[in-house]
Structure 1
Amino acid sequence: MIHPAAHPLAWLDERAAARTDAGLRRRLRPRGPSGADTPIDLAGNDYLGLSDDPRVVAGGIEALRVWGAGSTGSRLVTGSTTLHRDLETELAGFCGFTDALVFSSGYTANLGVVTALTGPGALIVSDAASHASLVDACRLSRARVVVVPHADPDAVAGVLAARTEERALVVTDTVGSADGDLAPLRALHRACRAHGAVLLADEAHGLGVRGPGGRGLLAETGLAGQDDVVGTVTLSKALGSQGGAVLGPAAVIAHLVDAARSFIFDTGLAPAATGSALAALRVLAAEPERAADVLRVAAVLATAAGAAVPVSAVVPVVLGEPGPALAAATACLARGVHVGCFRPPSVPPGTSRLRLTARAGLPEADLRRATSVLTEVLDGVRAGSAR
């Protein structure tokens, strides 16, 4: 007979203590409004600096006035507006796809498309470094899932060649969220096409940064719009708003409306977020130079941090164990620079890191200050003392 503990949630205290000892405890640190005392942001994903752009804010305000504060229901009931459709049409056209479907987040977009395109009797081949949203989608799919080494098209081809399932889906991020590296999309697509599989690529960190005018890595590699390629994007990074979308052939989008549970049973994206994302997309289309500026800033940050030359907005500075990474992030913040600190389970054990994110339009004075702080702090950490 099992005798309950003093309290059924007493185990949470033990788990919290273990996390604290391992340097893995996380705490919310609400940021205040922008002002003179605001730290320089090298942690957020506002890659194009559009979250507070007056044109983007105005797009959200206008949508709020016209459509109200909320979508009022699922998009299949009352939650879909002409504004949603405008965003889908322009987003698909910008990225080079036939059609698009907007979800309430990039996370729900991945959940919806993976589960709707697979299911029992299907195979999913997932990159070992896939984002948590893709991992969770695989788990929910009830398909057979094979995880292959990161960025290994030969391993993907081997799994596809040996499969017995009629349908197969290969999933990957186009740009690694923690490493900032680029997926070998052309080789992955060749493997998919040779073995009758669909390639699903998440452009969360590619949109606005890679490709012609920021159209993404799928556009850069000539794969956007292929009839066996599906893309997903988030509207909360380069576009500075909220939400996500699936891009693909019209038949895929129609199927998602009928079968994607995270679309059918979720309230539609709020009008203000929809309007802001559409305004941001129009700014990007009119100002394609923003994408190149992201990479310029990333290169400057990488040089100051002693990191490899970046190929995206993400600059990883691997420090090993959680303690040094947390100490470095804390020291940077104390000096007025906010950097990301990634520890397990966000990254594999032994690879805790600072995650620096570049932003187009970062004032040169802020960039100089940030590089000075990074050099000072990281020199100290690497010498064994984060002062």
Structure 2
Amino acid sequence: ECEITEICEHSWLFGFLISEENLHNVMHFRCKNLYWSISGRICNFNKLDKLKIKLITLDINELIFFDKFSHQFAILKLIYSKIYSNVLNDILSLESLEYLAFSDTKIVMNNNASFSTFNYSIKYFEYHGSLFHNFYMIFEFIRMLVNIKTVVLNLTEDFVPLQYEEKFIPIKKIENLIYKNFNAQINHSSAINQFIATNKLSLCFQTKYEFLRDIFCENNFDTIEYLEVENIFCRIYDKNILANLNQLKEICFKKIKLQGLSFCDLFDQTMNYNIFSVALWNIFISDNDIRFLNNLKKLINLKFYDCMFNSHLIECIGKCSFPNLKYLLLRISEDTVIPEYVLYLKEIFPVGILSIE
């Protein structure tokens, strides 16, 4: 692993040495006009494989690699750096790169910036930061990643996609979409609508004022197997909004605010789902929810973390069969459930299945 950290602009020479048996690799860094010019010399390419490069606090206007060196890249991370849009083309030309991540990295748009080549090797792309100036450029870049499987968007500021309405961005089909945002005013659907996730969808918001229907009514996520949602608001007209997710196998709901409906009302309670794992955090649990979970014939793992339910529901859990359940976790406070009911559950479920925290 080659890692550059905290390069001082007042130093004239920095470098590092990688040594392993007969393998000696040296990269040198020199400062020129307060900008870093990086040159490298790598020997014994046949013994060098799967390079991980992390560039931190750099101003990069061009990435040029010798042919042999460019074939060794597997992971590239840019952190707290500044790059120009033509550098994205340099990255697209890396034929062995599998993992690419931008973290708090500013992308400066060149005049008439465009992408000239597709990339077939990158499988994982992560973007952490603001899309205020880079909305169109980033999604155009993702479109050039032909075999991309996972996209992670961790947005920290507002962006204005409306200025690009006249530009058509084709929807990108990927396996896994992980979307996180910590700005309450952002238009989330503008980013999420750029993708069709076929396997995993993970959504995390800053507040509970995002609405489930606003996301799912315009997107086709019918084939996803894993759904994770955190901090979202569910209202009465969200009923059955997840009914068509008949490929679901795992659910994780955290801090969901339910108004006028229960967790189970988000699904079609007459359907036979193949869900085998459910984890619920800080959610009010109703009788209907317990019955819905009991009807999930393939349910193996069931976890309640700090959920709100009364002693009556504890008794209801004990009366359900849960035919294939192998693990039941209850994380509850002592003032939530009467101790007698905890003992009751321990008598109902065999040793090794029930865990109470």
The structure with the largest alpha-carbon Rg is: 2
Tell me which interval the TM-score lies in, with the shorter structure as reference length.
under 0.3
User: Please, what TM-score do these two structures have when normalized by structure 1?
Assistant: 0.22
| Greater strand content | 2
Whose RCO is larger (CA < 8 A, sep 6+)? 1
